[in-house]
Every structure is written in structure tokens, then in C-alpha cells.
Structure 1
Amino acid sequence: MRQPVARRLQAALATLALAAAGGVALTAPTAAAATSGATGYATQNGGTTGGAGGQTVRATTGTAIHAALCGRAASSTPIVIEVEGTINHGNTSKVSGASCNTAADVIELKQISNVTIVGVGGGAVFDQIGIHIRESSNIVIQNVTVRNVKKSGSPTSNGGDAIGMESGVRNVWVDHTTLEASGGESQGYDGLFDMKADTKYVTLSYSTLRNSGRGGLVGSSESDVSNGFITYHHNLYENIDSRAPLLRGGIAHMYNNHYVRLNSSGINSRAGARAKVENNYFEDSKDVLGTFYTDAAGYWQVSGNTLDNVTWSSPGSGNRPAGPDMKSTTTVSIPYSYSADAAGCVPDVVSRTAGAGKGLKVSDGNCSTQPPTDPTPGPTDPTPGPTDPTPGPTDPTPPSGTNLSIGAGSDGSSKASGTSYGNLRDGDLNTYWSPAGPTGHASIKWDSPTAVSAVVIREAAGSAGAIGAWRLRDADTGAVLTSGDGAGAVSFPRTTLRKITFEIISSTGTPKIAEYETYAS
């Protein structure tokens, strides 16, 4: 039903007012920034599309995310929220409105529907602040990092869950995310990916979960068995003590996941849960599948899995490991279509696709990767796609003119100890910046719009060849300027911007960038 003119005008003015208050940038309605469509159980029950077709909003604070939700005409009005920068307690406040129910110090997706939250530009990091989904449906979360969310100590957020769902949640797709902690419950952390109180039709895909005591659960207790229909595929579980995941009742499908260093237990099927576990690669782990810490048994169907240096405990009271000779104890019928990679290539495929900042690449089901399909590009998604344009060769001829990075500013993702963003632009090849891990990003920025058409990435001595695949982005718009492999000089169409970001997607060692030079020609 069409709204009366006065009411529509009032809603529009409210949206603009909230945008101004929360620092939200409004753009024309577009499709989601980058998506090839939900997979797994998220395709059932009517499907999961998030905010596709709605207005696109850019947010750089948690308050701005809440303002975008509250600025909609109704709680079900589709919206795509593109997030860039670091979201934390200091910039996340409660915002009020008829179309939202938010709270401070947590990203609150409560009593709403048809929302996409997607990381763009230089990346989106939710630092010590969780994403809470409650009494909501049709939610997409894509290409974001959520780290070090605590339930005790300081600061606390979302009960300690990186992403938590509860109370009648339906149809959620979490894709290409990085969820990580820095310890277990004794250090103040809880689960990375939890579902409880009647949560159904959820898919976790192409994501990295690491360094946590608890990977995640489905069901908060042996009596909370109304959850289910969950798919986990092409995820990396690394250095997780237990709950990878813990299932209480319901049905789950795990395929093409890479499990590395599950320290106490892995997939824990309990209280009548049924898990289909196929074509996964389990490595350097203990008790990767079974019923653990309870006498309330669960069940599993297994096929095509690889066990690489997996150890098993002895059966006993409250302890029913599935191995060492894993055999099926039930059958599970899967209602959706999918193509599973052979287990032997899962470590390689997952290393190239799982986690935020990996270009949203997906498996083709034949041990190779491909960019996502997006038939309706938006303003941040120029053809052939913002995340994986056709790489061009690196230009071996350095550009001429003035290095615009000298005197500019710089920032980036987490840096390795002893390195500095300032080393990227100091003209000294003996100093360097290095990311905290094998991938990361660094940016050069200016106070006013600056025309750039060429970049030179110079690796530090002794690290030549470490940088693998990379992307160069206009950080102002999120658009990809060019991409390729290896350090060196590269040119692209002249672009005026305030910030340009070099994203390292893969590496063969520790990347060390001595100079990040920029030129007008």
C-alpha cells in the first residue's frame, strides 16, 4: 500500500536527519555491494536476500549503523549498510526510532528484517563489539571482521559472542567473515558464532574462526533443541578448543571445512542432533567428531572426510568419539543443491577464499576458485565486480614525477610489532610496514582530493616475492582500481581521491613494504 504523501515526506526527512546525526552517507538504491546469493539452508524457508533492492548507506561508526536502521520507513524496509573502518564501543551509541530497537555498545539487529551489512573499501572491523541478532529475519552479514568480544572483564559486549542469534531468528547468511578471539572463557571470551532459542535456516560460509576457546553452539542447553537447519561450508576453524560447533538438537550440514588444531573436541553432536559431515579436512586435531561432555547422544552421517594427524580419546561416560573408525549413525537428507570439493583440496581452496578481505571468491566445486556473480552491479561494484576484476600485468616501468606519498598520511590494518605506517612514505628503503598476519591493507591519504594514476610498491630487502595477490582500491568509494600479483609498479585510469588502499590478499611469506609510492602520472 502506498503511503500518503505527507507520511512519505516525513519518513524521508527523518531519514536525512538521522543520517546527519549519525554520520551516514546516503546513496541511490542498489543491489548488495557484492553477493552471488545465499547458499545452504539460508536458501530455504523463502530464501535470504538481506537488503537487496533497498537503499544503500555508507557507515563508518556503530552509531551510523544504528542510525541507518532507525532511518527506514519501517522495520522491514530493505537496506544495504556498507561499513568501512573500525566499529568500537567509543563510536557505538543507542539510536531511537520506530523502525529499530538498538542499544549502546553492541550492534543490535533486533525485531527487524531485510538488512545487509557488508564491509567495503579498506575493510570493516568490529573491535571488541559484537553483532547481536534477535527476533529478526532475512539478514546478510558479509566481508567483516569481528574480534575480541568479551562477556567478562572490560569492555563487555553481546554476552561475549562475536555474532550471536536468539529468539525466533530466521534466515541469516554470514559469509566471508573473520571471527576471532584471543583466548577462552577464563580470559573473558565466549562463542564466535552462537545460535539459540529457536534460530533456524542459517548458513556460515567462507569464514575464518580462530584463536577461541569456543567456536560456536546451536542450542544453549540440552532443553534448547528448537534450533536447526544450519549449513557450515568452506570455513577455516583454527586453534579452537571446542564447539566447532556444539549442536543440541536439529539438523546441521558441514562440508568442505578445514579444521586445524581443534584442541579438545570439534563437532559435538548432542541431544538428538543430526549432522551430515562430508568432504572436510581435519588436521592436527583431537576428537573431531562425536558426542562429548554429556550422555545425551547425537548422531552423524559421514563421508569423504580426510583425517590428517587426528587423535581420539577413549569412549566413556559422557564421551562418545566417532573415531578412529568414523562410521555413520544416521542419515540426513539435504533439500538444497550444492557441489562439494574433494576433501584433499579443501585446505588450498579454503586458504584462498575464507575470511574477510579475500575478494568474496568462492569455490567452483571442482577445487578451483572464482569471483562471485553479481548481475546487478551498484556504484561500488563496477563490472566485472568490485572484488575480483580481471588482473592486469604489473607495469615494470616506474612512473615519473613526484612521489605524492611523501608528506601525506598513512594508516592500515593491524601492523606487526616494530613496524610503522609512517615507514611506507618516509623515502627510506631500510624501514618498512608489515601486517600482523599474512594478509592486510595499507593506505595513503591526503587532506584534499588528489589525482593519482600510478602506484609503486617496493618490498623491503630480503622479502622480495612475499606479496602474492593484491587489490588497489579507491577508499573513498570502495571501487577497485586494479589488481594483480607481486610487488612493483602499476598504472590505472587517473582517479581523484583522498585515500588509496593497497590490499594484500595472499602471500608466500611475511609481506614487508618499504615504500608505498603514489604518482599523478
Structure 2
Amino acid sequence: MTHVRSKRLPGRALAAVTALVAALGLGAVNPAQAAPPEPHRPADRPAVQQAPWADEPHGFASLAGGTTGGRGGKVVTVRTQADLARYAGAAEPYIIRVAGAIDVQPFGSSVTVASDKTLIGVGTSGEIVHGELNLKPGTHNVIIRNLTIRDSYVEGDWDGKTSDFDAIQMDSVHHVWIDHNRFTRMGDGLLDVRKDSQYVTVSYNRFDNHNKAFGIGWTDNVTTQITVDHNWFSGTKQRNPSADNCAYAHLYNNYLSAQVADGDPVWSYGNWARGRTRMVIENSYYRDVQHPYQADATAQLAERGSILDNTTGRHDEWGTAFDPRDFYAYRLDPAAAVPALVTRFSGPQKNLGTDTVLDVPAAYPTIQSAVDAVPAGNDGAVTLRIAPGTYREKVRVPAGKPRIALTGTGADRSKTVIVYNTPNAYGGSSGSATVLIAASDVSARNLTFVNDFDEAAVELNAEQALAMKTTGDRIVFENTAFKGNQDTLMTDSPALNVISRVYIRDSYIEGDVDFIYGRATTVIERSLIRALSRGSGTNNGYVTAASTWKDNPYGFLITRSRIVSDAPAGSFHLGRPWHPGGNPDAIGQVLIRDTELPAAIKSSPWTDMGGFSWKDARFAEYRTYGPGATVTADRPQMSDADAAGHEVADYLAGRDGWAPHHTRISSTS
């Protein structure tokens, strides 16, 4: 018999749904609860809409303090059973990235997952093979995502009577989020949520090629609260899921298809509300399923808006069960869209687990503590999502921690400020810098960097005070501000004959003496540069002080930008050649092109430094304009032919074809 049932409910069309899907991060602050609160019906709970693929767990796992996993702990990448067991079973929180297939031995043995952990597969590579994950009684605050757990099935043991090798088994736990995993061909069950476990959400998983898919209960108490949404059950026979004595079981937008057809009249079924379970099913899709949903006489099952396609047998509905919206807000997708939506987006995703998100200060009290959580030799992208505020601290990104993105989440860059006040006299350029980036492949967005050392308050022979110093390669700044006086921004490299590249776009830089300097190949594009007045009528400072290696044809390029100043007319230099330690092999290269210059710029804007003539450096302008752009004999102008070889791409490409100017830094705010 074919029973097709459909109700019109609010929901997005599939095209709108798929357009909004984006990669997820991880949880938030660790609740560190020893025991779960009692179940309750918070009718006055704020209705915060949770879209699919949100950064935070949804459904019951989001209640009573939430499920946050290993946030606040260190990030580690594991590739062996020993490392997985070490970090998953540790007492302290960890974010554990599983890269590659881990073969668990002996066959069918388990890896214990302790409280305050996030386990996440890196793209589609993370697999647990021949073994299970086990959450023992009392475990809480666990996130397991984007993994494939497979192949502990013992041939001939279809009913799982001789081997209890589940994919994940949990007993008497609370606050657990199981999301975007694939479970297939295990012994006994795929997922067992047992013995009064509470505040659990199971979302966007694939259960396939198995007998007993997903069981909930094994208790006489009516305690468990569980949300089950957007899962795909395919080629399974029973427990899709079976829910025994659940206080609240909310199943929505699940897809059950291609049920194993072995002629069993009772134990081939879809969803079963057993004992005194209260179950709500909404907008799910059942295709080729026997007994799509059924309930014991003692249970309550309310169904709304699902589609039955070529189904037979029971489709029970009795009792009012409960209203999930008394507990949390959620959005239903239309039942007709569920097959396409769930088959595409359930299971491990290639864009999950590749970018770890660390929230400051929600999970890490300081920016430096979040940097410290990144492992040395980091091989995955890590985004430090920095909330609005003023962070008075020094930040050091060491050379061994690449692929970090610093992202301010405020409405604009002025809302998130990193500031300190150390002058160069106390530690040199590296010691004075508010932020020092020694790693490569680091980016910063929507932030302000400041060194607010007060030159007038302290008598020093050297008044340099850096807001930012970089020595790594492939550094990108977008929509950032750098504020200081002398030596505000230093873009450098580990050694004179080592080329590092820095790209700065849509940013603001201010200072007075040599406030953009160093030997890195640096492009400043579409930015505002403010030359501050020191109160002199004749010499207020120098915009640049390049120390480019003589064999590097590309030093500083300032292009499509504006230089502004309130200094008197003719009192500011464009730059001077810096030869650190008197090294003659540091021959500065600076090109200012397609940039507006203020009246403060001198008619002879380049000057000598430390006994080295500016004329021996490689200084030039090209198509500058504005009141300070007059052409004189002391203002080299680059020819059209040479300018064709001094575009942004020429400066940045290097041997690896780096081209950050063609993309925007992705925002996770």
C-alpha cells in the first residue's frame, strides 16, 4: 500500500536552504557541570532562532548551560590510536582534530571519551575503523562531529548477539552533540544513547548498511531529552531510532529510505516510541519503509507534516506528547525537500574540521591564550574570533604556529583594539611591538593595533614603539588600523636575504618617523596613511624607511591610496634608506603609485640616512597626484615600461604564485 501524506508548513525552498549552508566551527565556553539539571519546561526561554549548520549545538543539547565540548582547551591533531586515546581520555579539555583513518586494535575495542572534548574529523579524512567511542557514566559536554566510524561488523552476527561493538555508546551522560558523522557496518548498534542520558542532539548523520541503527533508553526512568534532526537512515532494518522511556524525543526533518527488506513483520521499522516515551515527529520523509512510525499504548506520539512514500504497516499517532517550542526555537524544512537536503548535507563534509574557531574572550580570556592553544606545527586553519573590546596585552604568534587568522567581530575595526605601551628601548623592535607575527600564512581582519607609549612622558634616546612587527611570509591585513608614532609598522623577514611578503588592504596607518619600515616585500593598497605632525615647521618625519635586500627587486609598493597630514606644507619626507647596522646590501626599494599626496610632502621628498645617500636607493613615484605631487629634479618618476613590471601581482607572486589581492579574507564573525 502506498500512503502519501503531506501538510503545508512554513519552510524554505531547497535552493534557499542550500544557499545558506556554511561550514561550522565548534562550541563555546566549557560549562564544567558535574551533573545535569532536572528536566524542565522553560516557557519563558528567549526564542533564539537556530539555523542548520550554526556554530553552536541546537535542540536539547543547547539547553541548561549548553554543550561546548573542548572549547577553552588546546587544539591537537591525531593520526594514531595512541594519540586519540591519550587526548580523548584526558582530564582537561581538548579540541581533537582526527586526520586520516585510525585503525583501532584489538578489533572491536573502544576508545574512552572523557568530559569536555570535541572530536572532529578533518574534512572527509577522519575515520575510526574497527573500534568504538565510549562515553562512560557521568561524562558530559562532548561534541563528536564529522567522523566516519565503520567496520567492526562480525560476519554472520547480523543481530549483534556475540559482539557489542557500537560506533558510539554512552551511558548516563549529559550534554552531548553528535553531528555530521557516518556510521556503517558495526557490531550490534551504530549509536546507543543509554541509561538516563540527557540533553542530547543527534543531527546531520548517516546511518547505513546495518541492522540496529540507533537506540535510546535501556532504563525504567522517563528522563532522557533528545533532539534528532536531518539524519539519513539508509539500508538499515530497525531502531531509526527506537526511543524507550524518553521524557522528550523530538524527531524532525529525518530521511528514512531503502529499509532492509528481510520479511520480518515486527522488527523491521522506522521510529518507535516505546514505554512511556513522548515523541514528536515533524516534516520527515519515509520512503520504502515498513512501520514508518509506531508507539506503544503507554507512549504518546504526535506526528505533523511528514511524507510517507511507498510505506506499509503502522503509522501510529496518539496523545499530545509535548511542544518542542516550549524548550527551544528551531526551523522546519519542508518535508518534500528533505531527501535532497539530507542526502547532500548529512555525513562528513569536506569543509568541516578544516578551520578551528577559537572565541576570545568567551572561551579564551586573552588573545595570547588562544594563540597558545594552537599546536606547534599547526596544519589546519585556526580562526581567533575576537569580540569587541580593548585588549591591553602583547600578542606573539611564533614562527611554528602558521595558518592563524585574527578576526575582530565588531561592527568596524575600531571596536576591537589590541594595545600596549612598550618603547623600543625596552627590548628592541621585537620586544616593543604590541603584536609580533613571526609565523607565515597569518591574516588579520577588522582590528586595530596600537602602541600608545607616551613619548612626552619618558625621556629616552630612542622613542620607537611598534604597534605591529611581522617577520613571516604571506601575511595579510584587511580592514585593519595601525596606530603609533615612531616605527608604527615594521614588516620584516628572518634575515636580510630571506624574502617575506605582506599585503595590506583597505587599512589605516599613522605615525611620524619611519612609521612604515623594514625589509619585507610589502604592498599597501586602497589604504589611508596619516603622517602626524611633530610640531616642526621644516621636518616632521618620514613615511617609509625601507631596508630591502639588494637582490630583491621588490620592496614597498603604496598604490591606489591616500597620504594625508596636518603637518605644515613641505615638512614631511616620503622616505629614507635604512641600512641596519650599516649593511651596504640593504638597498631600499619604494614605489608610490596612483596615490594622493598632501601639501605636507616636501618638493624633494627623499633624504639620506646614516651616511647612505637616498640616490643610491631605489625610490620612485608613478602617477602620484594631489598638492604634494609636484615633479622636481629630486623626485624620480618611474617610466610606463618599468611600471608595467611593478604591479601588485609582481610584488606578491614570488615562486608560489601568491595572490591575496584576488580574494577577501573570509569572515567568521
TM-score (norm 2): 0.43
How far is the alpha carbon of 1:219 from its aligned partner?
1.5
Tell whether 2:217 aligns with 1:219. yes
Q: Residue in 2 aligned with 1:410?
A: none
How far is the alpha carbon of 1:86 from its aligned partner?
1.5
Q: Which one has a larger percent strand, Structure 1 or Structure 2?
A: 1
- Residue in structure 1 matching 2:150, options 147, 150, 162: 147
Aligned positions of 1:88-167 closer than 5 A: 88-90=103-105, 105-109=109-113, 112-120=114-122, 123-135=125-137, 136-150=139-153, 159-166=164-171
Aligned positions of 1:347-426 closer than 5 A: 347-360=339-352, 376=359, 380-381=380-381
- Residue in structure 1 matching 2:285, options 257, 276, 281: 281
Q: Residue in 2 aligned with 1:405?
A: none
Tell me the SS of whatever aligns to 2:176: strand
Distance in 2 separating the partners of 1:173 and 1:253: 14
Task: Single out whichever of 204-213 and 225-234 deviates more from structure 2.
Answer: 225-234
- Residue in structure 2 matching 1:259, options 252, 256, 277: 256
Distance in 2 separating the partners of 1:253 and 1:282: 16
Structure 1 vs Structure 2: percent identity of aligned residues?
29
Quick one: which amino acid aligns to residue 235 of structure 1?
A: N
Task: Single out whichever of 235-244 and 329-338 deviates more from structure 2.
Answer: 329-338
Q: Given that residues 358 and 383 in structure 2 are in contact (C-alpha distance below 8 angstroms), is that contact kept between their aligned partners in structure 1?
A: no
Tell whether 2:337 aligns with 1:332. no
Q: Residue in 2 aligned with 1:7?
A: none
Structure 1 residues 32, 60: CA separation in 2 closer, same or farther (over 3 Å shift)? farther
Q: Residue in 1 aligned with 2:475?
A: none
- Residue in structure 2 matching 1:86, options 93, 97, 101: 101
Structure 1 residues 178, 272: CA separation in 2 closer, same or farther (over 3 Å shift)? same
Q: Residue in 1 aligned with 2:224?
A: 228
How far is the alpha carbon of 1:41 from its aligned partner?
0.7
Q: Residue in 1 aligned with 2:198?
A: 200
Structure 1 residues 114, 493: CA separation in 2 closer, same or farther (over 3 Å shift)? farther
Distance in 1 separating the partners of 2:203 and 2:331: 14
Aligned positions of 1:56-71 closer than 5 A: 56-69=75-88
Q: Residue in 1 aligned with 2:74?
A: 55
Tell me the SS of whatever aligns to 2:311: strand
- Residue in structure 1 matching 2:178, options 174, 180, 197: 174
Distance in 2 separating the partners of 1:353 and 1:198: 30
Tell me the SS of whatever aligns to 2:116: strand
Q: Residue in 2 aligned with 1:268?
A: 272
Distance in 2 separating the partners of 1:80 and 1:88: 20
Q: Residue in 1 aligned with 2:479?
A: none
1:360-391 deviations in whole A, cap 9, x for unaligned? 49xxxxxxxxx9996859763367999xxxxx
Q: CA RMSD in A?
A: 3.6
Quick one: which amino acid aligns to residue 336 of structure 1?
A: Y
1:321-364 deviations in whole A, cap 9, x for unaligned? 325xxx44223122011111010101111122100135349xxx
Structure 1 residues 171, 151: CA separation in 2 closer, same or farther (over 3 Å shift)? farther
> Where do 5+ consecutive residues of structure 2 fail to align?
1-24, 29-52, 261-267, 360-369, 386-402, 404-652, 659-669
Q: Residue in 1 aligned with 2:58?
A: 39
1:420-450 deviations in whole A, cap 9, x for unaligned? xxxxxxxxxxxxxxxxxxxxxxxxxxxxxxx
Aligned positions of 1:242-257 closer than 5 A: 242-250=238-246, 251-257=248-254
Tell whether 2:311 aligns with 1:310. yes
How far is the alpha carbon of 1:265 from its aligned partner?
0.5
Q: Given that residues 225 and 271 in structure 1 are in contact (C-alpha distance below 8 angstroms), is that contact kept between their aligned partners in structure 2?
A: no
* Number of aligned residue pairs: 314
Distance in 2 separating the partners of 1:344 and 1:152: 37
Aligned positions of 1:409-488 closer than 5 A: none
Distance in 2 separating the partners of 1:157 and 1:60: 30
How far is the alpha carbon of 1:297 from its aligned partner?
3.4
Q: Residue in 2 aligned with 1:494?
A: 656
1:137-177 deviations in whole A, cap 9, x for unaligned? 000001100112347989999822111111x2001001100
Report the structure number with the largest CA radius of gyration: 2
Relative CO higher for 1 or 2, CA cutoff 8 Å, sep ≥ 6? Answer: 1
How far is the alpha carbon of 1:115 from its aligned partner?
0.5
Distance in 1 separating the partners of 2:125 and 2:168: 18
Distance in 1 separating the partners of 2:655 and 2:382: 14
Distance in 1 separating the partners of 2:334 and 2:654: 38
Tell me the SS of whatever aligns to 2:288: strand
Q: Residue in 2 aligned with 1:429?
A: none
Structure 1 residues 60, 309: CA separation in 2 closer, same or farther (over 3 Å shift)? same
Q: Residue in 2 aligned with 1:98?
A: none
> Where do 5+ consecutive residues of structure 1 fail to align?
1-29, 93-103, 183-188, 313-320, 362-370, 387-490, 497-521
Q: Given that residues 107 and 132 in structure 1 are in contact (C-alpha distance below 8 angstroms), is that contact kept between their aligned partners in structure 2?
A: yes
Tell me the SS of whatever aligns to 2:322: coil
Structure 1 residues 165, 296: CA separation in 2 closer, same or farther (over 3 Å shift)? farther
Q: Residue in 2 aligned with 1:474?
A: none
Distance in 1 separating the partners of 2:162 and 2:269: 26
Distance in 1 separating the partners of 2:163 and 2:188: 10
How far is the alpha carbon of 1:310 from its aligned partner?
1.0
Tell me the SS of whatever aligns to 1:212: strand
Q: Given that residues 47 and 171 in structure 1 are in contact (C-alpha distance below 8 angstroms), is that contact kept between their aligned partners in structure 2?
A: yes
Tell me the SS of whatever aligns to 1:160: coil
Structure 1 residues 208, 114: CA separation in 2 closer, same or farther (over 3 Å shift)? same
Structure 1 residues 128, 373: CA separation in 2 closer, same or farther (over 3 Å shift)? closer
Structure 1 residues 149, 238: CA separation in 2 closer, same or farther (over 3 Å shift)? same
How far is the alpha carbon of 1:227 from its aligned partner?
4.4
Q: Given that residues 183 and 208 in structure 2 are in contact (C-alpha distance below 8 angstroms), is that contact kept between their aligned partners in structure 1?
A: yes
Tell me the SS of whatever aligns to 1:336: coil
Q: Residue in 2 aligned with 1:342?
A: 334
